[in-house]
Structure 1
Amino acid sequence: MSDTLSRLTETMLSAAARAGADAADAMAVDGTSLNIDVRAGKLEQAERSEGTDIGLRVFVGRRSAVVSASDTREETIATMAERAVAMAREAPEDPNAGIADPDQLIRQWDIGALELADGSPEPAPAALEEDARRAEAAALAVTGIAQVQSASAAYGRQNVHLAASNGFSGGYARTSRSTSCVAIAGEGLGMERDYDGDGRTFQADLRSPEEIGRSAAERALERLSPRRPKTGAYPVLFDERIASSLIGHMMAAINGTAVARGASWLRGAVGEQVLPDGLSLIEDPHRPRASGSRPFDAEGLATQRRAVIENGILTGYTLDLATARKLGLRSTGNAARGTSAGPSPSAWNLELTQGTRGRDALIAEMGTGLVVTSMIGATINPNTGDYSRGAAGFWVENGALAYPVSGVTIAGNLRELLRRITPADDARPWLSRVVPSLLVEGLTLAGE
C-alpha cells in the first residue's frame, strides 16, 4: 500500500503544479481500525473502519490553502488542486509560510530501528472480543464490584506518506493495540468508578486482560465513601497516571504557536530555570515501539533527540518551520499535521528525570496532604500560568493513605509549582510521556 500512497502524493503534486501552484506538499493516509466493546459478557458493539484520506497544501507566493478528500480518483485530485490554488490566491499573505528548503530535508532514515509497526497478523474480531470478555470477567470476580461499565479491545494500523515539491518523499506504517476496562463499585449515589487500560505498538507487549480488569476493580473499590478535605495549603502528590498532565501544560506553553502569538507564560523563558536543579526533560522521537516516534516530521525535516529542559533550564521551544521563521529561530523538527490542515508544532516522546525514591516514600514524607489520582476540568491562564483543576484521590495523614477524597479543587501557579516538584521512580517506560509521580509542596486545596 505504501507504493499506492506514494503515487497518490506524486499525483497531487503534479496536479498542483498544473493548476498554477508555486510549491506544494501532499499527504496520503490509509488505515484500518477495529473496536470491540463487551458488556455483561455479551458483545455490545463492534466497529471496523477502513479508508484512505488525502490532503494537499499549495502555495502561491506566500499565500497558501489546504484541501482534503477521501476520493482518490485522478479527476477528483485535479479538481482539488484547482480549488486549492484558487483559494490560495484569495488568502492573506503570510511572510513565514512555505515548505522547507531542499538543504533542510532529511536524506536517509532507518524505519526498522524505530519498530513503529507490529509485523504479526491483524487480530481477528473474535480475539479482541475474547480479550474484552476476559478483562470484564476479571473485574467482576473482585468482591464488591457491582458492574463493569465497559470493557474494550481495539486494533489499528495506519500507513502514512508525505511528499513535497522540494523533492522530499517518505512514509511509514504504524500499528496500535489496546485493552481497557471501567469498573463500578458501590450502589446508588454511593457508586464510584475507575479504570485501567494499556496501549502498545506491539500486541505481544500488551498487559494481560486479567491484570487490567482486576486493577480497574481494585481502583474503583478504593474510591468508595469519599470525603472532602479541609481547605488549606498542603503538599500534593500527583499520581503517575496523571502526573504527565503537568508536563503537558508546560509543553503547551513552550509550543511555538503559543509563543509566537504571545499567549504563553513561558514566552522569553529560554535560558531560565523552569524545573528544579538536576531534572531534565528529554524528547526522543527515535525510541523503539513508542507511539510518539517518527523518523521525520510533517515537513520532511529530521527528527532528533533533544533536551527540552536540561538540569532545570529551558533550552528552547517546540517549533515547526513557520513558527521558527516568525521567532527568528530554527525548526526543531516538530511539525505535525493531518490531511485537512497544515503543519503545527507538536512534541514527540518525552521523558522526565526520575527520582531515587518510590511513591510510598514520598507519601510518607508528606505528613498530611493529598494524593491525586484523577482530575477533571482545567482553568489555566495562558499568560500567567495560574492553574486550577478539580481533583479526586486519597487524603494522607501521618504519612499514610487515610481515606478517599473527591470534590476538591487544586490551585496554584504553574511557573512556581513546576520549580518545586520532586519526582518518584515509578514512571512506565513504554509510554510516550515517561513521567513519574510528582510531589509538590504547598498547593492550595479548596474543600470543605
Structure 2
Amino acid sequence: MTQHPGDICQDLLKAARDAGADAADAIVLQGSSVSVEVRKGALEHAERSEDADLGLRVLLGQRQALVSSSDMRPEALRMMAERAVAMAREAPEDPFCGLADASDLAADVSVDALDLADPADPPSPEALMQDALAAEAAAMAVDGVSQVSDAAAGYGEHRVHLAASNGFSGGYTRTGRSLSCVAISGTGTGMERDYDGDSRTYQSDLRKPHEIGRLAAERAVSLQGARKPQTGTFSVLFDERISSSLIGHLMAACNGSSVARGASWLKDGLETQVLPEGLSLTEDPHRPRVSGSRPFDAEGLPTRRRLVVDNGVLTGWTLDLASARKLGMSSTGNATRGVSSPPSPSSWNLSLTQGAVSRADLMRDMGTGLLVTSMIGSTINPNTGDYSRGASGFWVENGEIAYPVNECTIAGNLRDMLLRIIPANDARANLSRVVPSLLIEGMTLAGN
C-alpha cells in the first residue's frame, strides 16, 4: 500500500459524506509479519504475510452500519461508502451510538514517549530460525526431555490509523518480537509437556533462546509422575504465569457492556470491596514498550491512567461511549475495535499491588495445598461468578513441593475468591498484566 493510511481514512470519510452519511469514522490496519517453526533441528514451517484492511462506520441519525474491505482503490472506497449508507438506512435505531464530541478528543496523539516501535532493522527469517533452533537445542540438552514439539520465533510490524468526521485523526506503529518453546518429557501415556516464551516490543529486550529452551524443558521434566491430588478444601497458590487470569475475570465483570446488559456478577458492586484492603488495581496505557499501551482509544478519546480498584474498592467500570451512555456515565477511554465491528470496551495495561513476600514464602505458609501452574477449560458463570477450571501443577505438603499433579478441578466463587487473595512479589514488570502469584485459601479441589 503506497498511500498513507491517514489519507485513505480521509478519502473514506469524504466518500461517506458524498454518499449521504451524517457522520462517519474510518480505520485502517496495515501489517506485516514473519514467523518460523523448527523441529528436530530443521525448519518445519515458515510464513510471511502482509495485509491491509480498512473499515468504515457511517451514521444516519441514530442508525449505524459498518463495512470492511481490503481494496484501496478509489472506486472501491466509493462503493464501500454507498453500501454502508444503504445498510444504515435499513438498520434499527440505536439511541446510544454516535461519535465523540470534538471537545473530548485526544488533542496530542504523539506516540514517541510510548516507544511502541523498535527502530532497529527487522530480524531476517534466518535470524528467527537460528533463535528457534537454539531454544530447541537447549531444551533437548536437558535430561529427561524426549522431544520438543515446537520451537517458534516471529516478528511483526503493525500500523493503525483512525479518523472521524468529528475532526479526529491519529495513528501509530507497533512492533513485536516473540520466541517460544514447548518441551515434552517421558514417552507414551507418561508424556508431560510444558513451555516457556517471551514477547517484547524491542528485539534487544527479548530473553535469550537458551534460557527459554532450558526453562521449558525443566518445567516439562518436573511434571513426570503426575497424579491426581486429594479431594477436599485446600489452599491454592496460582503461579505468576496464570494468576493474571483471575484479574481477567474481574475485568470482564467490570466491562461496561456486560454491566449495561445486567450480565455481570459485579453489576451492583460499584464502590464496594472487591479485593482485600491494601490492594489496588491500576490501569496505565502509557507504559513504554508494553503491548497494551496506546495514546488514544478506538473512538479518538485520550487514554489515561486510572485506579480500577483503590485500596480494595471498585471505583468504576471500563467504558466506551455506547456503554457509558447506557449507564449515564462518561467514557473511560477504553474503546477498542476492528475493521468489521463497532467499538466495545476493553482494558489496557493492568498492575496489581505486589505483596511483601516471595512465592516460596507463600508456599511455606500455605502448608498443604495445590500450586497451580497450568489450567485448561473454563466454566465461569458471568451472572453469579461461580468458578470451575481444570488444573495441574504440584501438590504441596508442609510448605514444600511433594509431587506433580494433574487431572483435577478447582472451584469457588470469584467474588469470595478475590476477597481472599494474598499476593507474592514475583510479577514480571514487562507484561501488559503485571500480576504476581496469588494464594487463595479454602478452595474446593476435586481429584481422587
Return the alpha-carbon distance in structure 2 between the equivalents of residues 156 and 414 of structure 1: 36
Shift in alpha-carbon separation, 1:2–1:381, aligned structure 2, 3 A: farther
Structure 2 residue 220 is the aligned partner of structure 1 residue 247 = no
Structure 2 residue 12 is the aligned partner of structure 1 residue 35 = no
2:150 touches 2:183 (CA, 8 Å); kept in 1?
yes
Return the alpha-carbon distance in structure 2 between the equivalents of residues 183 and 353 of structure 1: 33
Return the alpha-carbon distance in structure 2 between the equivalents of residues 397 and 268 of structure 1: 39
Name structure 1 gaps, 5 residues minimum. Answer: none
1:2 touches 1:159 (CA, 8 Å); kept in 2?
no
SS at match of 2:81: helix
Return the alpha-carbon distance in structure 1 between the equivalents of residues 5 and 41 of structure 2: 40
CA drift of 1:2 comes to 9.6
2:109 touches 2:170 (CA, 8 Å); kept in 1?
no
Counterpart position of 1:187: 187
% identical equivalent positions? 65
Counterpart position of 1:260: 260
Return the alpha-carbon distance in structure 1 between the equivalents of residues 107 and 144 of structure 2: 58
**AA matched with 1:353:** T
Match runs of 1:295-310 below 5 Å: 295-310=295-310
SS at match of 2:218: helix
**AA matched with 1:382:** P
CA drift of 1:110 comes to 3.0
SS at match of 1:318: coil
Structure 2 residue 229 is the aligned partner of structure 1 residue 229 = yes
Normalised TM-score (structure 1): 0.99
1:2 touches 1:161 (CA, 8 Å); kept in 2?
no
Structure 2 residue 358 is the aligned partner of structure 1 residue 358 = yes
Q: Which runs of 4+ in 1 moved over 6 A?
A: none
SS at match of 1:207: coil
Structure 2 residue 173 is the aligned partner of structure 1 residue 173 = yes
CA drift of 1:285 comes to 0.2
**AA matched with 1:394:** F
Counterpart position of 1:70: 70
1:10 touches 1:163 (CA, 8 Å); kept in 2?
yes
Return the alpha-carbon distance in structure 1 between the equivalents of residues 337 and 162 of structure 2: 10
Return the alpha-carbon distance in structure 1 between the equivalents of residues 75 and 3 of structure 2: 20
Counterpart position of 1:137: 137
SS at match of 2:4: helix
Shift in alpha-carbon separation, 1:176–1:45, aligned structure 2, 3 A: same
Counterpart position of 1:90: 90
1:115 touches 1:289 (CA, 8 Å); kept in 2?
yes
Return the alpha-carbon distance in structure 1 between the equivalents of residues 34 and 259 of structure 2: 38
2:26 touches 2:163 (CA, 8 Å); kept in 1?
yes
Match runs of 1:10-21 below 5 Å: 10-21=10-21
Counterpart position of 1:206: 206
Q: Superposition RMSD on alpha carbons, in Å?
A: 0.8
CA drift of 1:240 comes to 0.1
SS at match of 2:181: strand
CA drift of 1:196 comes to 0.2
1:2 touches 1:171 (CA, 8 Å); kept in 2?
no
Match runs of 1:102-181 below 5 Å: 102-181=102-181
Counterpart position of 1:215: 215
1:125-181 deviations in whole A, cap 9, x for unaligned?
000000000000000000111000000000000011000000000000000000000
Number of residues paired by the alignment?
448
Counterpart position of 1:368: 368
Counterpart position of 1:316: 316
**AA matched with 1:240:** E
2:192 touches 2:223 (CA, 8 Å); kept in 1?
yes
Return the alpha-carbon distance in structure 2 between the equivalents of residues 268 and 2 of structure 1: 51
Structure 2 residue 379 is the aligned partner of structure 1 residue 379 = yes
**AA matched with 2:39:** R
Counterpart position of 1:414: 414
Counterpart position of 2:389: 389
SS at match of 2:24: strand
Name structure 2 gaps, 5 residues minimum. Answer: none
Shift in alpha-carbon separation, 1:211–1:2, aligned structure 2, 3 A: farther
**AA matched with 2:302:** A
CA drift of 1:109 comes to 3.4
Counterpart position of 2:278: 278
CA drift of 1:268 comes to 1.8
Return the alpha-carbon distance in structure 2 between the equivalents of residues 3 and 351 of structure 1: 39
Return the alpha-carbon distance in structure 2 between the equivalents of residues 107 and 270 of structure 1: 30
CA drift of 1:229 comes to 1.0
1:293-329 deviations in whole A, cap 9, x for unaligned?
0000000000000000000000000000000000000
Counterpart position of 1:328: 328
1:344-384 deviations in whole A, cap 9, x for unaligned?
00100000000000000000001100000000011011111
Return the alpha-carbon distance in structure 2 between the equivalents of residues 338 and 96 of structure 1: 19
1:202-257 deviations in whole A, cap 9, x for unaligned?
00000000000000000000111111111100000000000000000010000011
